[in-house]
Chain A
Amino acid sequence: MVATRWRSLGILGILVMVVSACTSGGASSQPSGGASVAPPASDAPASAAPSGEPSAEAVTITWYHIQNNDPGLGLWQKLADEYTAAHPNVTIDIQVNENEAFKTKLTTLLQQGDIPDLFQTWGGGGLRQQVEAGLVKDISADVADWKAEINPGALSMYEVDGKNYGIPFDLGLVGFWYNTKSFEEAGITAPPATWDEFLTTVETLKAKGVTPIALAGKDTWTGAFYWAYLAVRNCGQAGMDKAVVSGDWTDPCFVKAGEQFKQLIDLEPFQEGFLAAPWDGAGSGAAAQATYNGAMQLMGQWLPGTVNANSGGSREMGEGLGWFPFPAVAGAPGDPFDGLGGGNGFAVGKDAPPETVDFLHHLVSLDAANQWGALNSGILPTTVGSEASVTDPTMASVLEGRAKAQFVQLYLDQATTPELGGAINEAVATLYAGTGTPESAAEAINAAAGQ
Chain B
Amino acid sequence: MATAVGSRSRSGRNLRTWGAAGLFMLPALGLYALFVLFPIVQAARYSLFDWNGLEPLDQFVGLANFERALTDPTFLGAVNHNAVIVVLTLAIQIPIAIGLALMLNRRFRGRAILRLIFFAPYVIAEVITAIVWSLLLQPDGLTEHFLTAIGLGGVYAPWLADPDTVLLALFFVITWKYFGFHMILLLAGLQGIPREVEEAAAIDGASRWQGIRHVTLPLLGPTIRVSVFLSIIGSLQLFDLVWVTTRGGPVNASNTMAVYMFDRGFVRFQFGYGSAVAVILFLMCFVVALAYQRWVMRRDMEGATTYG
Contacts and interface: CB of A to CB of B under 8 A. Distances in A.
Given A7-B18, A274-B161, A12 B250 contact: no
Contacts of A135: 54
A15 B30 CA distance: 6
Interface in B131-169: 134-135, 138-139, 141, 158, 160-163, 166
Contact of A217 (B34, B135, B249): B249
Contacts of B22: 11
Contact of A275 (B54, B55, B249): B249
B270 interface: yes
Contact of B268 (A282, A418, A429): A418
Contact of A283 (B18, B138, B270): B138
A19 B134 contact: no
B53 A20 contact: no
B158 to A, nearest CB: 3
Interface in A402-451: 417-419, 421-423, 426, 429-430, 433, 435-436
Nearest to B254: A276
B38 interface: yes
A133 interface: yes
A107 B267 CA distance: 12
A347 B282 CA distance: 38
Contact of A429 (B30, B161, B251): B251
A340 B150 CA distance: 48
Contacts of B34: 19
A110 B158 CA distance: 42
Interface in B23-42: 25, 29-30, 32-34, 37-38, 41
Interface in A65-124: 104, 107, 110-111
B256 interface: no
B126 interface: no
Contacts of B18: 4, 7
Contacts of A426: 251-252
B292 interface: no
A156 interface: no
B249 A12 contact: no
B161 A275 contact: yes
Contacts of A11: 22, 25, 29
Contact of A272 (B134, B158, B249, B252): B158
A23 B29 CA distance: 17
A107 B271 CA distance: 11
B56 interface: yes
B37 A419 contact: no
Q: How large is the interface on B (under 10, 10 to 19, 20 to 34, 35 or more residues)?
A: 35 or more
A275 B37 contact: no
Contacts of B160: 273, 276
Interface in B224-263: 245-247, 249-252, 263
A33 B307 CA distance: 50
Contacts of A272: 139, 158
Nearest to A217: B250
Contacts of A277: 138, 161
Contacts of B162: 275
A16 interface: yes
Contact of B41 (A16, A418, A419): A16
B6 to A, nearest CB: 19
A347 to B, nearest CB: 13
B54 A107 contact: yes
Given A283-B134, A283-B139, A430 B251 contact: yes
A289 to B, nearest CB: 14
A18 B1 CA distance: 42
A220 B252 CA distance: 11
A352 B161 CA distance: 48
A5 B129 CA distance: 43
B290 to A, nearest CB: 16
A322 B53 CA distance: 42
Nearest to A274: B161
Contacts of B66: none
Contact of A19 (B38, B245, B246, B269): B38
A51 interface: no
A271 B250 CA distance: 15
A418 B269 CA distance: 6
Contact of A111 (B53, B161, B247, B270): B53
B37 A12 contact: yes
B134 A419 contact: no
B54 A129 contact: yes
Contacts of A389: none
Interface string A329-362: 0000000000000000000000000000000000
A283 B135 contact: yes
Nearest to B267: A422
B56 A133 contact: yes
Which residue, A129, A283, A423, has most C-beta atoms of chain B within 10 A? A283
A218 interface: yes
A132 interface: yes
A260 interface: no
Given A19-B30, A417-B52, A276 B161 contact: yes
Nearest to B250: A275
A130 interface: yes
Contacts of A130: 54
Contacts of B41: 16, 20
A430 B267 CA distance: 19
A167 B267 CA distance: 25
Given A276-B250, A435-B251, 5 more contacts: A15-B30, A273-B161, A276-B158, A422-B263, A436-B251
6 contacts: A8-B25, A19-B38, A20-B38, A129-B54, A217-B250, A436-B251
Interface of A: 4, 7-8, 11-12, 15-16, 19-20, 23, 104, 107, 110-111, 129-130, 132-133, 135, 217-218, 220, 271-277, 282-283, 417-419, 421-423, 426, 429-430, 433, 435-436
Which 6 pairs of residues, A with B, have the shortest CB-CB distance?
A273-B158, A276-B161, A283-B138, A275-B250, A275-B161, A273-B161
